[in-house]
Amino acid sequence: MCRFCELGRAPADHSAAAGGGFSASAVARPSAIPMPARSGEAGRRLLLRGGHVLSMDASVGDFVVGDVLIDGNRIAAVGRKLDAGDAEVIDAKGMIVMPGFIDTHHHQFETALRGFLADCILVNDGQPHSAFNYYEHMLQKFSMVYRPHDVYVNELFGSIAQLDAGVTTVMDVSQIHHSPEHSDAVVQALKDAGRRAVFGYFEGWGDRAKYPEDARRLRAEHFSSDDGLITMVMGGEIYIPGYENAWKIGRELGLPIALHVVGTFGMQPVFDELARSGQFGSDNIFIHMTGMSDMAWQAAADAGAHVSLSVPIEMTMRHGMPPIQKALDLGMQPSLSSDVECTMTADPFTQMRSAMTLQRAFINEEALGGRTDCAAMVTSRDVIRFATLEGAKGLKLDHRTGSLTPGKEADIVMLDATAINVAPLNHVTGAVVTLMERSNVDTVIVAGSIRKWKGELVGFDVAKLRGELEASRDHLFEASGIDRDIFRA
């Protein structure tokens, strides 16, 4: 019997689509359109035929009409009129075929609270509008009452919702490690979702919290190899007392170290000291990077650290102005991340559009003011790169994903360019960034395995899992003592 079954809502059937363990939803549901069988298995070949291929690899190129050959879990070839041989052919005509999107920072455990904090800001800073804030409501109230079962259901639903939107890889920043059981629930949900994920081991609270020391157990039990679909990152928040130990353990275990870097939290003095003492490395993932000194920025760039930007959240929650131009001026190519669905959607199209329009707004304002030496404006191709290849680089996964490169694992999305919101297609990257949204995601493939087929998620009873999520939401509101007024001002 799996270890999560005692949590009260596990179904009798444990045949999870992507592995064993407790699953509230993994009940196979056949698609209305026949789907290729055994996708992702060794020796199984699929040919995506006749799509508009956007490879995100200059050495491969793009194809107005091209094919992608998948052999098992890997991309075997990309080109024109490839020989199908014994491959099963999937008609990709009218589809944009491109790498799956990568979200480098998403708090999936908060899925049941979607939209509730839409009007909040980050912290109570004593300024106007700050009484309703994320830190006090989410971290100090809601998060304290999560049971392992709540963690599992929220994580799983959030994962498959992003699969539906074409996000094939995520770094899940799970600040919910109140006990080893909470941590194991996160890992099990990420595995059961069947997509590529980076388990972000961040802090927890309470007498049974074992952060950061439990990282050693988690690494040994779940992540002894870095070759699996799920890998691990160490959370090293510098606002947590004793953060130095988390950094030490992370580096001892050979894990990247990720942390939120936000001026609103008063982090600049500590961050500056880390910069001056040479603590930054290419293993660091700095999330947000708002309000930091020029000295620290230069140190981060010199160290080869990565920056993950959550542009819509940073703008709406008072993190500070998203530092996209600062990163670009220093030669740092950022990735994009959704952050918290309690405040903003986690779909990649919103992230790309926001990054593109904000950076261009900065440059346009300078040009309108008479400046003639403005920085270059980012293009639709640039922000797709941020949302794919740069995300893979930031998570140390670019040898496996992020582009349609032969030899890499087959993380691929097919986007419908014949749909009413896109047709007629005139510009591939422009259509993806400026016209498309979740409904255009036709087919999603992770490591060669089809996870969404012709608009339908594969292997999940979404209605059943939604019921589990609603029950979790009801518990969270009741146990936290927060009133769920859905029409509050």
Q: What is the DSSP string of 306-374?
A: EEEE-HHHHHHTTS-S--HHHHHHTT---EE--B-TTTS---HHHHHHHHHHHHHHHHHHHHHTT-SSP
Q: What is the CATH number of the domain that holds 61?
A: 2.30.40.10
Examine the pLDDT at 335 and tell me if it is beyond 80.
yes
Same domain, yes or no: 95 and 223? no
Taking Cα atoms as reference points, which of 368, 276, 372, 264 lies closest to residue 321?
Answer: 264
Asked whether residue 467 is assigned to any structural domain, the reply reads: no
Same domain? For 436 and 338 the reply is: no
pLDDT for 297: 98
pLDDT in tens, 394-446: 999 999 999 999 999 999 999 999 999 999 999 999 999 999 999 999 999 99
pLDDT exceeds 50 at position 346: yes
Residues 388 and 416 in one domain: no
What is the tally of structural domains in the chain?
A: 2
pLDDT in tens, 6-35: 333 333 332 333 333 444 444 444 456 699
8-state DSSP, 409: B
Asked if residue 154 is part of any domain, the answer here is yes
Q: Is the pLDDT of residue 4 over 90?
A: no
Question: Which residues are CB-neighbours of 69 under 8 A, at least 6 positions away?
Answer: 45, 46, 47, 48, 75, 76, 77, 78, 82, 84, 87
Q: What would the mean pLDDT of 265-289 be, rounded to a whole number?
A: 96
Which of 45-49, 122-126, 367-371, 474-478 has the weakest average pLDDT?
A: 122-126
CATH code for the domain of 231? 3.20.20.140
Residue 240 scores a pLDDT above 50: yes
Average of per-residue pLDDT across 190-197: 98
Tell me the mean pLDDT in the region 158-172.
98
Q: Over 90: is that where the pLDDT of 2 sits? A: no
Query: 167 falls in which pLDDT band (50, 70, 90)?
Result: very high
Q: Are residues 197 and 323 in the same domain?
A: yes
Domain, as residue range, for 88: 45-99+412-457
- The structure tokens listed for 272 are 């500056």
In a domain, 325, yes or no: yes
- Together in a domain, 424 and 379: no
Q: Are 25 and 156 in contact (CB under 8 A)?
A: yes
Q: Are residues 178 and 218 in the same domain?
A: yes
Percent of the chain scoring above 90 in pLDDT: 90
Q: What's residue 264's pLDDT?
A: 83
Q: Please provide the average confidence, as pLDDT, over all residues in the chain.
A: 93
- Same domain, yes or no, for 89 and 149? no
What pLDDT score does 32 carry? Answer: 60
Q: Clarify whether residues 426 and 333 are in a common domain.
A: no
Percent of the chain with pLDDT over 70: 93
Predicted confidence (pLDDT) at residue 3 exceeds the cutoff of 90: no
Element (H, E) at 251: helix 243-252
Rounded mean pLDDT, 313-327 = 97
| Phi and psi at residue 102, to the nearest 5° | -125, 125
Q: Tens of pLDDT along 211-230?
A: 999 999 999 999 999 999 99
pTM of full prediction above 0.75: yes
Please write the tens of the pLDDT for every residue from 61-90: 999 999 999 999 999 999 999 998 999 999
92 with 163, same domain: the answer is no
Which residue shows structure tokens 């300024």?
127
Question: 254 and 189 in one domain?
Answer: yes
pLDDT of res. 265 = 84
